[in-house]
């Protein structure tokens, strides 16, 4: 019988972040969840399997960094102590080139990400591995499900937005989770209202409550809503300019977004 990938032996929790559509804030939710867990004292690894559009190196402000090889495999980029990131973005020489890969190549890459990356060790186990996926249910999803079949992942968080609460899309994601035995941990509604930077009042620009309705109709936990927050965008953008080198965690503390995870 095939054995589980050894690199995941020292990972306590594995959570996938999924969405039916692109641009709903899946990578942002992954980033915020990672920073929140890290702020709570956990060690966190983030794996970006959005191979054709890896955005996490930029979001974490570590675009220029490189992955190193050790005798035990690839060492993920350390964003700060106890926070690690692995992404194809670190491995491609020209970030402006598009990644046009067929399914088997994507599958091989994801296999390497799970089997050849040092995610925790006996002396320093990793509390959480968060996996940011591309939208929909594509080759990457099939590959990750295949690779995780031995790893007993905790499950998946599904991200949606109020105006894109398209039952059909979310149902497809849930259907996929059911097929591959990923428990759906719940639904998050992102970009849910706008918080005025001056008076902190929240205005529902789009419709609101769709995520909650959806979770009720599908009998799934509703994890909460995240407003549109200019300070989060600022935080992400700043990483590219004058704040390089500053701790993202320190900056995140100043951002008004409040964690949804507990």
173 near ligand ADP (CB under 6 A): no
For ligand ADP, give the closer residue by CB, 2 or 201: 201
Range 24-43, binding ligand ADP (CB under 6 A): 24-28
For ligand ADP, give the closer residue by CB, 9 or 231: 231
Residue among 33, 51, 22 nearest 111 (CA): 51
Length in residues, the chain: 262
For ligand ADP, give the closer residue by CB, 5 or 229: 229
In the complex, least distance from residue 4 CB atom to ligand ADP, rounded to whole angstroms: 28
251 near ligand ADP (CB under 6 A): no
The answer to whether the annotation marks 27 as part of a ligand binding site is: yes
Range 194-233, binding ligand ADP (CB under 6 A): 226, 228-229, 232-233
Q: Dihedral sign for Cα 76, 79, 82, 83, please.
A: negative
In angstroms, the CA 262 to CA 254 distance is 19
Single residue of 145, 191, 248, 251 touching ligand ADP by CB under 6 A:
191
The answer to whether the annotation marks 20 as part of a ligand binding site is: yes
The answer to whether the annotation marks 202 as part of a ligand binding site is: no
For ligand ADP, give the closer residue by CB, 103 or 230: 230
In the complex, least distance from residue 190 CB atom to ligand ADP, rounded to whole angstroms: 5
In angstroms, the CA 62 to CA 83 distance is 12
The answer to whether the annotation marks 80 as part of a ligand binding site is: no
19 near ligand ADP (CB under 6 A): yes
For ligand ADP, give the closer residue by CB, 23 or 125: 23
Query: Which residues are part of a known binding site for ATP?
Result: 20-27
| Residues making contact with ligand ADP (CB under 6 A) | 19, 22-28, 55, 190-191, 226, 228-229, 232-233, 236
């Amino acid at each position: 019988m095939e054995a589980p990938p050894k690199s995941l032996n020292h990972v306590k929790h594995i959570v996938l972040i999924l969405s039916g559509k692109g641009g709903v804030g899946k990578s942002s939710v992954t980033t915020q969840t990672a920073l929140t867990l890290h702020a709570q004292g956990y060690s966190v690894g983030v794996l970006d399997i959005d191979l054709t559009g890896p955005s996490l190196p930029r979001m974490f402000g570590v675009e220029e960094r490189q992955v190193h090889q050790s005798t035990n495999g690839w060492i993920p980029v350390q964003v700060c102590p106890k926070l690690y990131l692995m992404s194809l973005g670190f491995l491609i020489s020209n970030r402006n080139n598009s990644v046009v890969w067929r399914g088997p190549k994507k599958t091989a890459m994801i296999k390497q990400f799970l089997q050849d990356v040092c995610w925790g060790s006996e002396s320093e186990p990793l509390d959480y591995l968060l996996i940011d996926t591309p939208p929909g249910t594509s080759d990457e999803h099939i590959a990750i499900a295949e690779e995780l079949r031995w790893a007993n992942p905790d499950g998946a968080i599904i991200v949606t937005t109020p105006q894109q609460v398209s039952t059909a899309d979310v149902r497809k994601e849930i259907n996929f989770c059911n097929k591959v035995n990923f428990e759906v941990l719940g639904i998050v509604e992102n970009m849910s209202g706008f918080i005025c930077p001056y008076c902190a009042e929240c205005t529902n620009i789009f419709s609101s409550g769709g995520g909650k309705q959806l979770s009720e109709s599908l009998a799934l936990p509703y994890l909460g809503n995240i407003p549109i927050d200019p300070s989060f965008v600022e935080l992400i953008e700043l990483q590219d300019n004058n704040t390089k080198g500053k701790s993202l965690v320190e900056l995140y503390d100043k951002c008004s977004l409040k964690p949804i995870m507990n």
